[in-house]
Structure 1
Amino acid sequence: MKRILAVTACPTGIAHTYMAAEALQQAAAEKQIAFKVETRGAIGLENELTAGEIAEAHAIIIAADTDVAEQRFDGKPVVKVGAAEAIKNPEVLLARALAMTPAAPAAPAAVPRPAGREKKTGPYQHLMTGVSYMLPLVVAGGLLIALSFVFGIEAFKEQGTMAAALMDIGGGAAFALMVPVLAGFISFSIAEKPGLAPGLIGGMLAANLGAGFIGGIFAGFLAGYVVRWMKKVIKLPKHLAGLTSILIIPLFASAFVGVAMIYVIGGPVSALMKGLSGWLTSLGTGNALLLGFLLGAMMAFDMGGPVNKAAYTFGVGLLGSNIYGPMAAVMAGGMTPVLGLWLATVLRPKQFTAEELEAGKAAGVLGLSFITEGAIPFAAADPFRIIPALVIGSGIAGALSMAFEVSLRTPHGGLFVLLIPNAVSQWPMYLLAIIAGTAVTAVLVSLLKRKKAVA
């Protein structure tokens, strides 16, 4: 029996998406046609077509007014119309699809999923989604605040000046959006589009209550999982499904998350943030060294992995609370591994293979740019010797950065942020911390690294 597949979608993802799918399903059932339809609506991707189903299908009906990742159907006969046409003439579309001449089936392995819509699984992935959407705000806001200091460290206090405008844009707008966007896109990652509004609302409440980025993380996960649960348990007829995503879920999920933030979560997390801020600002030299060493070592441990990202997220989150020391230690710890490996290839080239020497040439630029992943090729080739050397060197760089009371107002850019006035305080001491960490890394790599095999 010939099998027909379909995809329906409309720009709003509310009425036409589901009405078109229902019309096609009813027509296929009446004509006893093997049929399956994928909907891309406001409540997310449902009934997704698999690679195997696409490969075996006789033809595809695309009833959509927006992108549906048509590249999946390369090599298959396709009937393409707007969603309204499927509602009006589903029998005609099915007849056209049945009459088409099948082409060679596409290879299942080559079928990509649409960018940005692939479902993420696990708390770490959800957190990183929120962080990735938050980062542009942190970068832009931090640099704009730093630029306001070009006119004088307190020039922004005089209203009507360019310094005040830059501070309002960077601190009053960009930084104010950090926590809501973090929470909103954590929730979006968990529950797709319906999770966005409750997450943003929970994040804004976290910011207003003084719960900071930790409160935003709580709000994002709470909103996401509440919305995901609601999507499973609330079942309306397809032609009413739009009410679920634009009325029922936003109303009840936002109310639940809001009440939880105000009466349950906000107070304790706000107290935690105040305690953390107080502890960080009152650190003595010994504790500062210990914290800086820990953050730097974490950055080098897995070079872009979960441990690295945990330290990075900690530093970035504190920027919104006007605590800039940990971010400086984090960036120093992230630059040092790659710079140290570059220096080791320069000082002791005979210890490295030709491929490692080539990687070392690029490592210098990667290190200066705060791209810790440039160390991965070296660590993968000899992990039990290279990683300890990197961890110790980065720990020293982070410890010295904290001990020198360096502050960094932007979460990325590497040493190139030194070109921006006042983005980094105590910059000569910051350079010294990074140089010291780089030198320690290079020496330890040279001492510990397994000698290059003789051909």
Structure 2
Amino acid sequence: MKNVLSEIKNHVLTGISYMIPLVIAGAVIMAISRVGGSIYGIKDIWDEKYVHSGNAVIQLLHSIDGFGGTALGLMFPIISAFIAYSVVDKLGVAPGLVGGMLVKDINAGFLGAIASGLIAGYICLLIKDNIKLPKTMESVVPVFLVPVLGTLGTLLLINYVIGVPFTALNVGLEHWLNGLSGGNQIIMATVVGAMVGFDLGGPVNKAAVTTAMALLTSQVYAPNTAAQVAIIIPPIGLGLATIFAKNKYNTELREAGKSAIIMGLVGVSEGAIPFAVENPTKVVPSTVIGSAIGSAMAVGLGAVNEAPISGFYGWFTVQSWPIYVISIATGSIFVALFNVILRSKDAGDNDNLNKDEEDYSFDEAEWES
């Protein structure tokens, strides 16, 4: 059972890895159009009324926003297709794509898209492994039977079995999140931030981030705001710690700290991993709490990030961006101070001393031989 769950997790993470570049491309394109619209004092550049605007630039910005929306609209078909691809290679792509389109049409959401990919992949795998034809007709299986039966089976299961519960779940989740206010919204942001800060790009992080991004298609923005703030706090905070207390870190970690700040600024939480590996009992609690603080502060004080962009180049497209930036700074400084205070004074020296001792022992053994 453990192996099966691990296999499914890997398939889902493969689909997510293919989906993320598409989502980022669509979101950045939309952000460009909306920043451009704000120059003209337009906050709803996506509205159809701008198709017939007398200003050619405004018409172009409206079209660009639509291009970004087209890219985001492929989110569910792509994740479904590449989960199926992970299960059964290219045989699963067509059924996965069509299944993902149906999920989008019936509003079954992100979880429905994941289910679609797994269903498509395993149906195609079942057909491939169990339908045996004479050698002269073997090519019929991958070219005809798998795409036709795989697609039909996927669509029937989605439409008549999983569609209704997943649609109800997705709609219910949307209504619940949109209905959150005040303290409840802050609690939600705190949980999302803590999840993102927990394993720094691992499964828990990705579950929170991708779910938050998927909710953007339903105009639910608070989870995304929380997630995008939390992504960048750990690497920036740990990078700052190496600046605040240079004597507590060895040369390797000081260099890693410089890289971590840069990675944080462009939205890569994995920049914190070297520190988490070196001292998980202190680093992981700091990143969980710091990310939760920053996320709760941003959402609670009214910042709204409508795009799945965590890097600095997207900060100024956020509603109430000064609050957003202050929230990032607050969470990062907490992570930095937490680690500076709890890390022993001679940690950096000890690291170097241990390294020197290991080198000396090796040389002595080599000399004796």
Does TM-score exceed 0.5, indicating one fold?
yes
Which letter does structure 1 place at the counterpart of 2:243?
V
- TM-superposed deviation, 1:226: 1.0
Matched, 1:224 2:118: no
- Specify the alignment match of 1:256 in structure 2: 153
Find the aligned partners of 2:130 and 2:20 in 1 and give their Cα distance.
34
Of 397-406 and 223-232, deviating more is 397-406
Find the aligned partners of 1:398 and 1:340 in 2 and give their Cα distance.
14
Matched, 1:163 2:76: no
- TM-superposed deviation, 1:368: 0.8
- Specify the alignment match of 1:289 in structure 2: 186
Matched, 1:210 2:114: no
Contact 2:28/2:309, CA 8 A, preserved across alignment: no
Report the CA distance shift for 1:345/1:313 in structure 2 as closer, same or farther (over 3 A): same
Contact 1:139/1:412, CA 8 A, preserved across alignment: yes
Gaps of 5+ in 2: 1-5, 53-58, 354-369
Matched, 1:411 2:308: yes
- TM-superposed deviation, 1:125: 1.6
- Specify the alignment match of 2:44 in structure 1: 154
Which letter does structure 1 place at the counterpart of 2:46?
F
Matched, 1:400 2:297: yes
- TM-superposed deviation, 1:407: 2.5
CA RMSD of aligned residues (A): 1.7
Out of 290, 314, 323, the position equivalent to 2:220 is 323
- Specify the alignment match of 2:271 in structure 1: 374
Which letter does structure 1 place at the counterpart of 2:10?
Q
Of 322-331 and 198-207, deviating more is 322-331
Find the aligned partners of 1:257 and 1:407 in 2 and give their Cα distance.
37
Matched, 1:136 2:136: no
Which letter does structure 2 place at the counterpart of 1:337?
P
Equivalent position SS for 2:110: helix
Find the aligned partners of 1:365 and 1:239 in 2 and give their Cα distance.
58
Which letter does structure 1 place at the counterpart of 2:337?
V
- Specify the alignment match of 2:335 in structure 1: 441
Contact 2:92/2:124, CA 8 A, preserved across alignment: yes
Give per-residue Cα distances to partners, 1:204-245, cap 9 Å, x unaligned.
Answer: 000000112221111111111111111110112334222111
- Specify the alignment match of 1:57 in structure 2: none
Contact 1:325/1:405, CA 8 A, preserved across alignment: no
Contact 1:138/1:410, CA 8 A, preserved across alignment: no
Find the aligned partners of 2:342 and 2:23 in 1 and give their Cα distance.
38
Which letter does structure 1 place at the counterpart of 2:87?
I
Which letter does structure 2 place at the counterpart of 1:437?
G
Report the CA distance shift for 1:186/1:320 in structure 2 as closer, same or farther (over 3 A): same
- TM-superposed deviation, 1:269: 0.9
Q: How does 1:54-203 map to 2 (within 5 A)?
A: 122-149=7-34, 150-151=36-37, 152-157=42-47, 158=49, 159-160=51-52, 161-171=59-69, 173-203=70-100
Identity level (%): 37
Give per-residue Cα distances to partners, 1:326-366, cap 9 Å, x unaligned.
Answer: 12211211111111112211212222122211211222111
TM-score, with length taken from structure 2: 0.85
Give per-residue Cα distances to partners, 1:50-85, cap 9 Å, x unaligned.
Answer: xxxxxxxxxxxxxxxxxxxxxxxxxxxxxxxxxxxx
Which letter does structure 2 place at the counterpart of 1:153?
K
Find the aligned partners of 1:223 and 1:129 in 2 and give their Cα distance.
15
Give per-residue Cα distances to partners, 1:265-320, cap 9 Å, x unaligned.
Answer: 11211111111111111212212221211111112211121111111221221122
TM-score, with length taken from structure 1: 0.70
- TM-superposed deviation, 1:166: 1.7
Report the CA distance shift for 1:250/1:403 in structure 2 as closer, same or farther (over 3 A): same
Find the aligned partners of 2:245 and 2:21 in 1 and give their Cα distance.
39
Q: Which structure has the highest strand share of the two?
A: 1
Gaps of 5+ in 1: 1-120
- Specify the alignment match of 1:66 in structure 2: none
Which letter does structure 1 place at the counterpart of 2:338?
L
Q: How does 1:333-372 map to 2 (within 5 A)?
A: 333-372=230-269
Structure label with greater radius of gyration = 1
Report the CA distance shift for 1:371/1:271 in structure 2 as closer, same or farther (over 3 A): same
- TM-superposed deviation, 1:396: 0.6
Matched, 1:305 2:202: yes
